Each structure stands twice: as structure tokens, then as C-alpha cells.
Structure 1
């Protein structure tokens, strides 16, 4: 049987190295970060800056996330049309993660509280514009 996986991929506007370092410090796991200057770009349809991130993969902690530096004029991440949802085991664990995120420059977008559907839920926007939703299920 084939193995499947899912990972969001984010194209950052030139600050992928900074963002992935931040996520590695906050969410843990293993970070693999490759810059264009460390790869063979022969045959590429463009000439990427050598310090730009060609590919980054964060896995093994609270999240799995892939990405790199994007190129073009429309490179902004701040939006309310998407968020990355992290399911946590306890309210205390969620509150601790929120404290770490806000202590590092993130802002509360929606206070973490008991939601109408019965779970605890809240949102935090990180310094890179990504919206993180945190949920703790009350189901046992």
C-alpha cells in the first residue's frame, strides 16, 4: 500500500529562513533548510538569489510544514481566508503555546476560550502574517 502524507507549503516573501527558524524554535521538530546557493540551478527559468530558501521542511514536532521563498510582486501572507489548525491535548498546553507565540511577537486574533460548539478555540497571527488556530477538543 502506498504511503501518503499532507503538509502545507508556504511561499514566503523573501523571509523563509527567518520564518522557519521561528517555527522550529516554537513548534520543535527537525528542520531541513536548503538555499539556492547550495543547489544546482542550471536550467532554471530564473536566477534565484543564492541566499533565498529553495526548500524548507519542518517535521517531527507539533507541526509539519514545508515552504521556501517565493518570487513576484504579490507575496504577502496576511489573510483571514486560511489558517493552520493545531489540535492540542489540554487547555494548559494551548495556553502555553499561545504565551510562547505572543512572547515572540505574535498577536491574538481571537481570544482562546470555550467556543459555541463546545471545544476551546482561539487564533494567533504570527509575525510573518500566518494565522494559527488552536483547538482543544472536549470529547473524550
Structure 2
């Protein structure tokens, strides 16, 4: 058994998945569309929208779809558990493009490099990097 997340969008699932691909998270490995292969669309506007998609990359797997009755994303976040400081920073910067940083990346009281953001599609992302960041300080002259 494994637990995976399912992201619901109203009508912008496809651009969201394209954005996540551009950020280097992975790619869409399976897709079904409303109105194709016997999948009836609830409304004309949903025709061709994503009924179900599977997204995968190294260490990443989630599912997503367009649903005209989807509730806004809230009370949940995707969390990256990382060990590379530069990878954490790079991914954070990419996913924050057009979104809102809610907790800037910084070393937190528990000692990890952590930050949080909501991307341009309303998905919350958390980043926790367990590699300890060392800061070199110069003695006063």
C-alpha cells in the first residue's frame, strides 16, 4: 500500500501539469479526457479537459484532474523531503513563479532548511531540506 495525493482543478489541470513538468518534477504518464473513450462530460465546457492524469518523476507520483465542482485547494499541502540545499532552493524558486511565498526558505528552529508557497494554480507546497546548512562567519577585525 502507498498513499498518493490527488489534485483537483476546475479547468486548468493541463496548464498546471505543464508547469510542473517545466519545473522538472516529472511528466504526465497517463491521461484520460472528459468526452473521450466513453467518458461523458458534465458540461460542454468540460469536453477535452482532464478527467484523470497520473504524474511521475524521480521520487514524485500524484494524480490530478479537472472537475467543474472541485472545491478550492485548502488544508493540505504537497511536501518535498529533500537532502540537497541547492535542489531545494532551485525547485522552490521555480514553483513560486507566479505564486505566493508564504514562508521564505530559511533555516528553521528545528535546524532544517524550510519554506512554503502557494503556486499560481492554488496548490500549496512545502519544502523541508534536512541537510544542515553551515554558515561561515569571519571574526571581527
With the length of structure 1 as denominator, give the TM-score of the two structures. Answer: 0.80
Q: Indicate yes or no: 2:71 matched with 1:75.
A: yes
Alignment map for 1:7-22 (pairs within 5 Å): 7-22=4-19
**Root-mean-square deviation (CA), in Å?**
2.2
Give distance in 1, aligned partners of 2:78 and 2:17: 15
Structure 1 contact 94–136 (Cα < 8 Å) conserved: yes
**2:23 is matched with which residue?**
26
Match of 1:96 among 90, 97, 100: 90
Alignment map for 1:57-76 (pairs within 5 Å): 57-72=54-69, 75-76=71-72
Give distance in 2, aligned partners of 1:20 and 1:62: 16
Structure 1 contact 20–56 (Cα < 8 Å) conserved: no
**2:121 is matched with which residue?**
128
Structure 1 gap ranges (5+): none
Aligned length: 130
Deviation track 1:62-104 (CA, whole Å, cap 9, x = no partner) reads 52110101122x6322x3x2211101121111111122223x3
Q: Which runs of 4+ in 1 moved over 6 A?
A: none
**Residues 112 and 53 (structure 1 numbering): CA distance in 2 closer, same or farther, change over 3 Å?**
same
Structure 2 gap ranges (5+): 133-141
Structure 2 contact 83–131 (Cα < 8 Å) conserved: no
